[in-house]
Structure 1
Protein backbone atom coordinates (compact mmCIF):
# COMPACT_ATOMS: atom_id res chain seq x y z
CA UNK A 1 0.00 0.00 0.00
CA UNK A 2 1.27 3.46 -0.93
CA UNK A 3 1.22 6.10 1.84
CA UNK A 4 0.38 9.55 0.50
CA UNK A 5 3.27 12.02 0.76
CA UNK A 6 1.13 14.48 2.74
CA UNK A 7 0.48 11.83 5.38
CA UNK A 8 4.17 10.86 5.44
CA UNK A 9 5.11 14.51 5.94
CA UNK A 10 2.53 15.01 8.69
CA UNK A 11 3.71 11.93 10.57
CA UNK A 12 7.46 12.49 10.15
CA UNK A 13 8.10 14.69 13.19
CA UNK A 14 6.18 12.57 15.71
CA UNK A 15 7.73 9.39 14.30
CA UNK A 16 11.29 10.69 14.56
CA UNK A 17 10.70 12.11 18.03
CA UNK A 18 9.15 8.82 19.18
CA UNK A 19 12.07 6.83 17.78
CA UNK A 20 14.54 9.11 19.55
CA UNK A 21 12.52 8.80 22.77
CA UNK A 22 13.52 5.10 22.62
CA UNK A 23 17.18 6.19 22.72
CA UNK A 24 19.92 8.04 20.86
CA UNK A 25 20.23 7.09 17.20
CA UNK A 26 21.74 8.10 13.87
CA UNK A 27 20.19 8.69 10.45
CA UNK A 28 20.49 5.27 8.86
CA UNK A 29 19.23 3.54 12.02
CA UNK A 30 16.23 5.90 12.10
CA UNK A 31 15.46 5.04 8.46
CA UNK A 32 15.63 1.32 9.30
CA UNK A 33 13.36 1.80 12.34
CA UNK A 34 10.72 3.61 10.26
CA UNK A 35 10.88 0.79 7.72
CA UNK A 36 10.50 -1.77 10.51
CA UNK A 37 7.62 0.06 12.23
CA UNK A 38 5.72 0.43 8.95
CA UNK A 39 6.32 -3.09 7.76
CA UNK A 40 8.26 -1.68 4.82
CA UNK A 41 5.37 0.48 3.62
CA UNK A 42 6.95 3.85 4.44
CA UNK A 43 10.20 4.05 2.54
CA UNK A 44 11.88 7.23 3.71
CA UNK A 45 14.94 8.64 2.00
CA UNK A 46 18.00 10.49 3.29
CA UNK A 47 16.74 13.56 1.45
CA UNK A 48 13.59 13.53 3.53
CA UNK A 49 15.08 12.58 6.92
CA UNK A 50 18.16 14.79 7.25
CA UNK A 51 16.42 18.14 6.62
CA UNK A 52 13.88 17.10 9.28
CA UNK A 53 16.62 16.19 11.76
CA UNK A 54 18.38 19.52 11.10
CA UNK A 55 15.11 21.40 11.64
CA UNK A 56 14.40 19.54 14.89
CA UNK A 57 17.95 20.35 16.02
CA UNK A 58 17.48 24.07 15.20
CA UNK A 59 14.20 24.04 17.15
CA UNK A 60 15.91 22.52 20.18
CA UNK A 61 13.80 19.33 20.05
CA UNK A 62 16.86 17.15 19.46
CA UNK A 63 20.58 17.51 19.97
CA UNK A 64 23.25 16.16 17.69
CA UNK A 65 26.82 15.13 18.24
CA UNK A 66 29.49 13.34 16.28
CA UNK A 67 30.38 9.81 17.26
CA UNK A 68 32.30 6.91 15.82
CA UNK A 69 30.84 3.52 14.94
CA UNK A 70 32.61 0.29 16.00
CA UNK A 71 33.91 0.15 12.40
CA UNK A 72 35.53 3.57 12.84
CA UNK A 73 33.03 5.49 10.73
CA UNK A 74 31.99 8.95 11.92
CA UNK A 75 28.25 9.38 12.40
CA UNK A 76 26.09 12.18 13.67
CA UNK A 77 24.00 10.91 16.57
CA UNK A 78 20.70 12.47 17.59
CA UNK A 79 19.02 12.52 20.99
CA UNK A 80 15.68 13.93 22.08
CA UNK A 81 15.69 16.88 24.48
CA UNK A 82 13.22 17.66 27.27
CA UNK A 83 11.55 20.12 24.87
CA UNK A 84 11.39 17.32 22.30
CA UNK A 85 9.67 15.05 24.82
CA UNK A 86 7.11 17.79 25.48
CA UNK A 87 6.57 18.27 21.74
CA UNK A 88 6.17 14.51 21.32
CA UNK A 89 3.51 14.38 24.07
CA UNK A 90 1.68 17.27 22.38
CA UNK A 91 1.86 15.63 18.94
CA UNK A 92 0.64 12.35 20.42
CA UNK A 93 -2.46 14.06 21.84
CA UNK A 94 -3.12 15.70 18.47
CA UNK A 95 -2.79 12.38 16.58
CA UNK A 96 -5.05 10.62 19.10
CA UNK A 97 -7.70 13.32 18.58
CA UNK A 98 -7.43 13.07 14.78
CA UNK A 99 -7.48 9.26 14.90
CA UNK A 100 -10.58 9.27 17.10
CA UNK A 101 -12.37 11.74 14.82
CA UNK A 102 -11.51 9.71 11.73
CA UNK A 103 -12.66 6.52 13.44
CA UNK A 104 -16.03 8.07 14.28
CA UNK A 105 -16.63 9.47 10.81
CA UNK A 106 -15.56 6.22 9.13
CA UNK A 107 -17.84 4.21 11.45
CA UNK A 108 -20.74 6.55 10.60
CA UNK A 109 -20.01 6.28 6.88
CA UNK A 110 -19.89 2.48 7.09
CA UNK A 111 -23.26 2.42 8.90
CA UNK A 112 -24.82 4.65 6.25
CA UNK A 113 -23.41 2.52 3.45
CA UNK A 114 -24.76 -0.74 4.92
CA UNK A 115 -28.39 -1.42 3.99
CA UNK A 116 -30.70 -1.94 6.95
CA UNK A 117 -31.46 -5.52 7.92
CA UNK A 118 -34.70 -6.82 6.39
CA UNK A 119 -37.28 -8.91 8.22
CA UNK A 120 -38.36 -12.32 6.91
CA UNK A 121 -39.17 -12.28 3.22
CA UNK A 122 -42.88 -11.93 2.48
CA UNK A 123 -44.36 -14.63 0.24
CA UNK A 124 -44.69 -13.61 -3.38
CA UNK A 125 -48.12 -12.39 -4.43
CA UNK A 126 -50.49 -15.19 -5.39
CA UNK A 127 -48.41 -17.91 -3.77
CA UNK A 128 -49.74 -19.37 -0.58
Structure 2
Protein backbone atom coordinates (compact mmCIF):
# COMPACT_ATOMS: atom_id res chain seq x y z
CA UNK A 1 0.00 0.00 0.00
CA UNK A 2 1.39 3.38 -1.02
CA UNK A 3 0.74 6.33 1.24
CA UNK A 4 0.31 9.75 -0.32
CA UNK A 5 2.74 12.41 0.79
CA UNK A 6 1.45 15.66 2.15
CA UNK A 7 1.31 18.55 -0.32
CA UNK A 8 3.73 20.46 1.92
CA UNK A 9 6.35 17.75 1.32
CA UNK A 10 6.51 18.75 -2.34
CA UNK A 11 6.78 22.47 -1.68
CA UNK A 12 10.23 23.69 -2.59
CA UNK A 13 10.84 20.67 -4.82
CA UNK A 14 8.10 21.08 -7.41
CA UNK A 15 10.31 22.82 -9.96
CA UNK A 16 12.86 20.01 -9.82
CA UNK A 17 10.15 17.37 -10.17
CA UNK A 18 8.65 19.06 -13.22
CA UNK A 19 12.02 19.62 -14.86
CA UNK A 20 13.05 16.01 -14.18
CA UNK A 21 10.02 14.44 -15.84
CA UNK A 22 10.47 16.69 -18.88
CA UNK A 23 14.12 15.71 -19.27
CA UNK A 24 13.24 12.72 -21.47
CA UNK A 25 11.14 14.79 -23.84
CA UNK A 26 8.06 16.98 -24.25
CA UNK A 27 4.87 16.16 -22.32
CA UNK A 28 1.46 17.73 -21.86
CA UNK A 29 0.13 18.58 -18.40
CA UNK A 30 -1.77 15.39 -17.66
CA UNK A 31 1.20 13.28 -18.84
CA UNK A 32 3.45 15.27 -16.48
CA UNK A 33 1.12 14.53 -13.55
CA UNK A 34 0.99 10.85 -14.52
CA UNK A 35 4.77 10.64 -14.89
CA UNK A 36 5.38 12.12 -11.43
CA UNK A 37 2.77 9.77 -9.95
CA UNK A 38 4.28 6.71 -11.65
CA UNK A 39 7.90 7.60 -10.94
CA UNK A 40 7.08 8.21 -7.26
CA UNK A 41 5.36 4.84 -6.94
CA UNK A 42 2.05 6.61 -6.38
CA UNK A 43 3.27 8.77 -3.49
CA UNK A 44 3.19 12.10 -5.35
CA UNK A 45 -0.23 12.89 -6.80
CA UNK A 46 0.04 16.45 -8.09
CA UNK A 47 -3.08 18.46 -8.81
CA UNK A 48 -3.66 20.44 -11.98
CA UNK A 49 -4.10 23.57 -9.87
CA UNK A 50 -0.55 23.04 -8.64
CA UNK A 51 1.31 22.17 -11.81
CA UNK A 52 -0.14 24.54 -14.40
CA UNK A 53 0.82 27.73 -12.55
CA UNK A 54 4.27 26.21 -11.94
CA UNK A 55 4.66 25.28 -15.62
CA UNK A 56 3.70 28.82 -16.67
CA UNK A 57 6.17 30.29 -14.17
CA UNK A 58 8.97 27.99 -15.38
CA UNK A 59 8.18 29.02 -18.94
CA UNK A 60 8.34 32.73 -18.01
CA UNK A 61 11.74 32.05 -16.43
CA UNK A 62 12.96 30.50 -19.69
CA UNK A 63 13.39 27.01 -18.21
CA UNK A 64 10.59 25.54 -20.32
CA UNK A 65 9.16 26.22 -23.74
CA UNK A 66 5.72 25.17 -24.86
CA UNK A 67 3.78 24.63 -28.04
CA UNK A 68 0.29 23.54 -29.00
CA UNK A 69 -0.24 19.99 -30.25
CA UNK A 70 -3.33 18.75 -32.07
CA UNK A 71 -5.27 15.93 -30.42
CA UNK A 72 -7.84 14.54 -32.79
CA UNK A 73 -9.77 16.80 -35.10
CA UNK A 74 -10.91 19.48 -32.66
CA UNK A 75 -8.74 19.44 -29.57
CA UNK A 76 -5.35 20.87 -28.78
CA UNK A 77 -3.12 20.56 -25.76
CA UNK A 78 -0.06 22.47 -24.67
CA UNK A 79 3.17 20.46 -24.54
CA UNK A 80 6.14 21.54 -22.48
CA UNK A 81 9.82 20.84 -23.08
CA UNK A 82 13.07 21.73 -21.32
CA UNK A 83 15.20 24.52 -22.67
CA UNK A 84 18.99 24.54 -22.31
CA UNK A 85 18.52 26.81 -19.29
CA UNK A 86 16.05 24.26 -17.91
CA UNK A 87 18.63 21.48 -18.24
CA UNK A 88 21.18 23.58 -16.36
CA UNK A 89 18.60 24.38 -13.69
CA UNK A 90 17.76 20.67 -13.34
CA UNK A 91 21.43 19.88 -12.77
CA UNK A 92 21.47 22.50 -10.01
CA UNK A 93 18.25 21.11 -8.50
CA UNK A 94 19.82 17.64 -8.38
CA UNK A 95 22.97 18.94 -6.71
CA UNK A 96 20.91 20.87 -4.16
CA UNK A 97 18.78 17.77 -3.51
CA UNK A 98 21.84 15.59 -2.85
CA UNK A 99 23.20 18.18 -0.42
CA UNK A 100 19.82 18.55 1.33
CA UNK A 101 19.20 14.81 1.69
CA UNK A 102 22.74 14.23 2.97
CA UNK A 103 22.25 16.87 5.66
CA UNK A 104 18.84 15.52 6.73
CA UNK A 105 20.15 11.95 6.70
CA UNK A 106 23.07 12.96 8.92
CA UNK A 107 20.62 14.30 11.50
CA UNK A 108 18.00 11.53 11.29
CA UNK A 109 20.47 8.65 10.99
CA UNK A 110 23.64 9.63 12.84
CA UNK A 111 26.59 7.26 12.62
CA UNK A 112 27.36 7.67 16.30
CA UNK A 113 25.45 9.28 19.18
CA UNK A 114 26.05 13.00 19.52
* Structure having the higher Rg: 1
CA distances 1:50-96 after superposition (whole Å, capped 9, x unpaired): 00000000000000111112x33200010100000111111110000
Q: CA deviation at 1:6?
A: 2.5
Q: CA deviation at 1:104?
A: 1.4
Q: Counterparts of 2:54 and 2:48 in 1: how far apart (Å)? A: 10
Corresponding residue of 1:51:
53
Within 5 Å, give how 1:1-128 maps onto structure 2.
1-69=3-71, 71-72=72-73, 73-108=75-110, 112=113
What is the SS of the residue equivalent to 2:11? helix
Instruction: Point out where structure 2 has 5 or more consecutive residues left out of the alignment.
Output: none
Instruction: Point out where structure 1 has 5 or more consecutive residues left out of the alignment.
Output: 113-128
- Structure number with higher relative contact order (C-alpha < 8 Å, ≥ 6 residues apart): 2
Question: Structure 1: which 4+ aligned runs deviate by more than 3 Å?
Answer: none
Which piece of structure 1 moves more, 98-107 or 58-67? 98-107
CA distances 1:88-125 after superposition (whole Å, capped 9, x unpaired): 111110000011111111221x854xxxxxxxxxxxxx
TM-score w.r.t. structure 1 length?
0.80
Q: How many residues align?
A: 110
Q: CA deviation at 1:4?
A: 2.9
Q: CA RMSD in A?
A: 1.5
